[in-house]
Structure formats: structure tokens, C-alpha cells
Structure 1
Amino acid sequence: MQIKKYKIQKTIAEFIYLFIILFFCYTAVNKLMNLESFRTNLVKTSVFTFEIANYFSYLVIILEIFVVIILLFFKQKGLLLFCFIILIFTLYISFLNFKGFYEVCGCGGILNGLQYKYHLLINLSLIISSLYCYLILNKANNEK
């Protein structure tokens, strides 16, 4: 019974892992395809000037692609890096909300236009899911 439970957990962790890769690929490609919109949303927060938003937009896209590459080649390190990046994004949107600068999500794609509470819920779910995935896959590697 314990082995079956563990196999189910490992399958769920692998699914989460694949979802995370697809999610970050999707967000990076969407931001790249709608770069002007992404920059405009950054400037609308009042945190960035247009010039800084120009550089920062590329930095975010490169960072997301970098995380995907790390995820593909170093699963556990990639999951921790992903968790850290989502935590930083969560702190960023929470700061914006606290200061009254958060209007709607400017991430792009299906998340674009999301209210703060839903964006926060999604980010917290991603953080928890990536930690769960890390722990299960770490347990699997330690048992080999």
C-alpha cells in the first residue's frame, strides 16, 4: 500500500514538474511576443521608468528561459530556482498591491488582467506545488 501511495505521489510530482516547465515557457514566449504590452504594464506600476522597463522586460524574459533550461537539465535545482523566482514575483506584486500600484496582472497570456487576490493565489499554489515536487523527487533520488 505504501509503495502505491509513493508511486502516485511521484506521478503527481512529475506532472507538476512538466506543468511548471510549460508554464514558464508559455509566460516567456507570451512576454516576448507582446513585449510592448509587457513594458507598458511595467511602466504603469509607477515603479519603473520607461528606460528601466525596457531593460527589465528583457531581463525577466531571459530569467524565465534560464529557469526552464535549468529545470530541463537539473530538475531539483530548477524547482528550487523556480520557487525562488515565483516567491520574488509574489513579493513584487504584493508590494505593488500594498502601495496601491497594482491594477491588474500584466504578466500576459491567460493571467493578464487578473485581480491581485487571484494572482496571489496562483503564485502561492505554484510555490507550494514546486516545493512538493522538489520534496517528492528528492525523496525518489535518495532512495536510488
Structure 2
Amino acid sequence: MKIINLSLILNFSIMTNKVYKIQKVIAEIIYLFLIFFFCYTAVNKLVKLDSFKNNLIKTTLFSKDLADVFSVVIIALEVFIILILMFCKKKGLLIFGFTMLIFTLYISLLRFKGLYEVCGCGGVLNGLKYQYHLLINVVLTIGSLYSFYIFNIIDDEK
């Protein structure tokens, strides 16, 4: 009887370890995708800076001068977050999630005020309708928080 219980405990431990390894691989893939995503959007905004500024001005929340400043600040923020993600994974994931939450609140405010036309993030995202933009932001936010949880909480338990 004790041998069977020990066998069940060992099997459960092995299964739990396999599940954890799979979770960690998924978290790592998400983590790498988040870095790629911000690199992609930052470079695209930088290459098409005038278009990005115009999208900010179209919202009517920003004057031309403020759009000039904010466009550079947003790109710099994205690059800064990329660096944090690369060198401080756990903090970077948390900051990424918080930033995506802020971006989500921003587009939701635009939508609420009737100022959201299409996504101005650039690249393949440019021109997205609100529903798709919101969905992408929510998925990215949840993905970053999931990865943070796996790398921070579960890693500490192991």
C-alpha cells in the first residue's frame, strides 16, 4: 500500500514538473514575443514619425506641439521598456503589462469620447478597428502578467 502511494506521489511530482516546464516554455515564448512586438511598433513609429504624430493630432487630445513631444516620449518609453524586458525580465514584464493597461485605457477613452478612428500604432496594426485593437491590448496585457506570474511566483516556489 505504501509503495503504491509513493508511486502516485512520484508520478504526480513528475507530471507537475512537466506541466511547469510547459508553462515556462509558454511564458518564455510570450516574453520574447512582447520584446519583438514593442521593437516592431517602436521602429515603425520612428520610421513613420509624421504619420504617428498626425494620428495623435487627429484625436484632438493633442495640439501639434504636444503631439511632437508625446510621439518622441512614447517611442522612447517603448525602447526603454524593451531594454528593461531584456535586462530585468520580471520587472520588465510587470512594466509592460502596466503600460499596455495604460494604452488600453487611452484607446478606450478615445472610443468613449467618439475620437477613436483607427489604430495608429503603425505597421500591420495600423488601421485596426477598436474591437481588434482592444483585443490585442488585452491579450498582450494578460500575456505579460501570465509570464510575470510564471517567472516570479512559480519560480520562487520551486
* Shared fold, TM over 0.5: yes
- Residues 91-134 of structure 1: CA distance to partner in whole angstroms, max 9, x if unpaired? 00000000000000011011100000110000000111111000
| C-alpha deviation, 1:142, in angstroms | 1.0
Q: Which of 87, 92, 111 in structure 2 is aligned with 1:73? A: 87
Q: Which of 117, 120, 130 in structure 2 is aligned with 1:116? A: 130
Normalised to the residue count of structure 2, the TM-score between the two structures is 0.89
Residues 1:50 and 2:88 are matched in the alignment: no
| 1:25-44 paired onto structure 2 within 5 Å | 25-44=39-58
Residues 1:104 and 2:130 are matched in the alignment: no
For structure 2, the 5+ residue unaligned runs are: 1-14
Matched residue count:
144
| Counterpart Cα distance in 2 of 1:120 and 1:114 | 10
Counting aligned pairs with the same residue, the percent is: 62
What residue identity is the alignment partner of 1:129?
A: G
For structure 1, the 5+ residue unaligned runs are: none
Normalised to the residue count of structure 1, the TM-score between the two structures is 0.97
What residue identity is the alignment partner of 1:35?
A: L
Which is worse superposed, 134-143 or 111-120?
A: 134-143
4+ runs deviating over 2 angstroms: none
For the aligned residue pairs, the C-alpha RMSD in angstroms reads 0.9
Q: Which of 131, 141, 144 in structure 1 is aligned with 2:155? A: 141
Aligned to 1:127: 141
Name the SS for the 1:104 alignment partner.
Answer: coil
| Counterpart Cα distance in 1 of 2:103 and 2:63 | 19
